[in-house]
Amino acid sequence: MKATVRANAKINLSLDIVGKRDDDYHLLESVMQSVSLCDTVNVKLGTEEGGITVSTTGNSCIADDHTNTAYRAAAAFFDYTEIDNPGVSIRIKKAIPAQAGLAGGSADAAAVIVALDELLNTRLEPEQLCDIGERVGADVPFCILGGTMLARGTGNILSPLPDLPDCHILICKPEVSVSTAAAYRTVDEQGLTSPAECSEDISEAICGSDLEGVAKHLRNIFERVTDIPEVDSIKERMVRSGALGACMTGSGSAVFGIFDDADLAEDCAAELRREYDEVFLTQPVSSGCEIDD
């Protein structure tokens, strides 16, 4: 038995840090959006090797051992459901860049959880799938549900929003990568927090189908601490090329621009590809994981 899942990337239309819990987890306010850039995750049951095996192609910096989020997701699933592991083989074809703020690892973990629920016919409720995902990482619940969401808490309190108006989302990742843990340490060292007005403004704009209003309020607190010159340069080039707005996603280093004109988006993508290897023209999607028939 096997299943193939499209594991969609996410972008942060806003990302504010509003506080910190006593256990040192950061409290966020963020509007998250799934996009069509995806990894392909194949999950097979009843393998001869037994246990959990992971293999990854397309990104050499991803470990294929127990530290891989996909491995941890499978282990968390069997622990939660108390089902005996029949042997699981996970094969991941990477397209989402690593250390980019696009939740590639979280998307893979989400895909494994959704695939195992399908293959083992456990029929878990979305809340239960998210409970498993939260054991693996803060972004995994969103990557399970996907679409357009206002995220609060550690990212685990998710409120659905209407679909983002039709648009074209251009993503460009410069060569530099960012460690999420290091980015949060810098936030702590600088004592940074931010009010959540942008998340509220973007939510209101989405509810009003106001794409220009969304683009006007894009903001990411990590832009203040990562100090990556290419981020500002890419943002400026996207806006100069017709983007309604541009912003870094997650802890970086990927930048996205929102376009309402397909030709302008394609022209900007062609220009950026002359300098950067990882440039993706995507669209907003309404789900985090999609099982192929």
**Residue among 16, 117, 139, 201 flagged as catalytic:** 139
What are the φ/ψ torsions at residue 153 (nearest 5 degrees)? 65, -135
Q: Whole-angstrom Cα distance, residue 10 to residue 261?
A: 21
Q: Establish whether 277 is a catalytic residue.
A: no
> Which amino acid is residue 187, in one-letter code?
V
Using CA atoms, how far apart are residues 119 and 186, in angstroms rounded to an integer?
A: 42
CA distances 208 to 47, 117, 205, Å, are 50, 35, 5
Query: How far is residue 19's CA from residue 134's CA, in Å, rounded to a whole number?
Result: 19
Question: Residue 10 catalytic?
Answer: yes
Q: What are the strands, taking DSSP E only, across the chain?
A: 2-20, 26-45, 52-57, 88-93, 148-153, 157-160, 168-173, 219-220, 245-248, 255-259, 278-282, 289-291
User: Would you tell me how many other CB atoms lie within 10 Å of the CB of residue 190?
Assistant: 10
Asked if 146 contacts 160 with a C-beta cutoff of 8 angstroms, the reply is no
Q: What angle do CA 47, 113, 170 make, to 5 degrees?
A: 115
Q: What is residue 206's three-state secondary structure?
A: helix
Phi then psi dihedrals of residue 38, to 5 deg: -150, 155
Which residues are known to be catalytic?
10, 139
